[in-house]
Structure 1
Amino acid sequence: MKALRWISLGALLVFLNGCGGYSFTGIQTDAKTVQVKYFQNTAPLVEPGIERIFTNKLQEAIQNQTRLSLTSSNGDLVYEGEIVDYRVSPMTSTANFTAAQNRLTITVLVKFTNANKEEENFEKRFSFFQDYEGNAQLTGSKLTEVVDFIFNRITQDIINESLAKW
């Protein structure tokens, strides 16, 4: 019986050692620090304050899903970019030709730099949308709800593209 315990323990140690650089989120990196530069809002339609919200959401997502230390300069990994589109579009209409449902779409241009592995660098657009009732005003708590949903999806897509090597 003791032999079985030792064999099980040995197998577990070999397994864990083999998974050394991985986490249960699938993120593997040799980097130690990450820098998230402030994302400017250059969209034709500007919603004040969303650039700060996005920058904070990306920092929080990286800190929650990795062991990287956030730094203000010279990070091993650097995220920078801008919000390039903020668009409200009618999706369906009523018999009175008013919008029954609208869609908010936000697009973020991200430049990712990995100082340790330059072949992983990229510059790419990430976009997502959320539909909402046409008679709802996109202000206050409704705006916060919709923007949070979109930014959660975009930040996850950015992390998957830059760090999750499935």
Structure 2
Amino acid sequence: MYSFSGTNIDPAVRTFSIQTIQNNSPTGPAFLTQRFTEDMKDYFQRNTNLQMVNRDGDLQFEGAIVAYDFSPAAIQQVGGTDVAGQNRLTIQVKIRFVNTKDDTQSFDQTFQSFGDFPASQDIATVNNDQNAVRRITTNVITEIFNKSVANW
């Protein structure tokens, strides 16, 4: 039931399925749906011995990216005017998780992470940086993983 990756998976659980995580945020980039979904699948494949199936897995994930907010952070005064010392990108993902072997483990929850960027970087620059958005989404995926199979 325990493993070196920190998972706590019942031996009766053998498969998982992840439906496409849609981007329902009005400001999220077009690539976010596919990248988040594929990164989540990869994370679970790398960190468990479960077999991925297209649908109706023992563990089932579905959800949506509900917020992709880029806003000023670390406000500073420059010449008597408030300006952003940094910008912050916050991503929220609402996940519905069903454990078909133990429904007490199922949940419906929103997960969130953020990253701070220099004030000189606008949202277009951040979106074009392959690693910037991925660092934030990886944090969200790790939280989903921990809540669903590590029971943290």
Aligned length: 146
Give the match for residue 37 of structure 2: 55
Q: Specify the structure having the higher radius of gyration (Cα).
A: 1
Give the match for residue 136 of structure 2: 150
- Label 1:161 to 1:110 Cα distance change in 2 as closer, same or farther (>3 A): same
Q: 1:106 is matched with which residue: 88, 91, 94?
A: 91
- Label 1:45 to 1:38 Cα distance change in 2 as closer, same or farther (>3 A): same
Residue 60 of structure 2 is aligned to residue 86 of structure 1: no
Q: 1:63-111, CA deviations, whole angstroms, 9 ceiling, x for partnerless residues?
A: 1110011110221111100000000110124515443310000000000
**Greater percentage in helix:** 1
Q: CA RMSD in A?
A: 1.7
Q: Which runs of 4+ in 1 moved over 6 A?
A: none
**Greater percentage in strand:** 2
8 Å Cα contact 2:65/2:94 also seen in 1: yes
Residue 105 of structure 2 is aligned to residue 123 of structure 1: no
Counterpart Cα distance in 2 of 1:141 and 1:87: 12
Gap runs ≥5 in structure 1: 1-20
Task: Normalising by structure 1, report the TM-score.
Answer: 0.81
Deviation at 1:24, TM superposition (A): 0.7
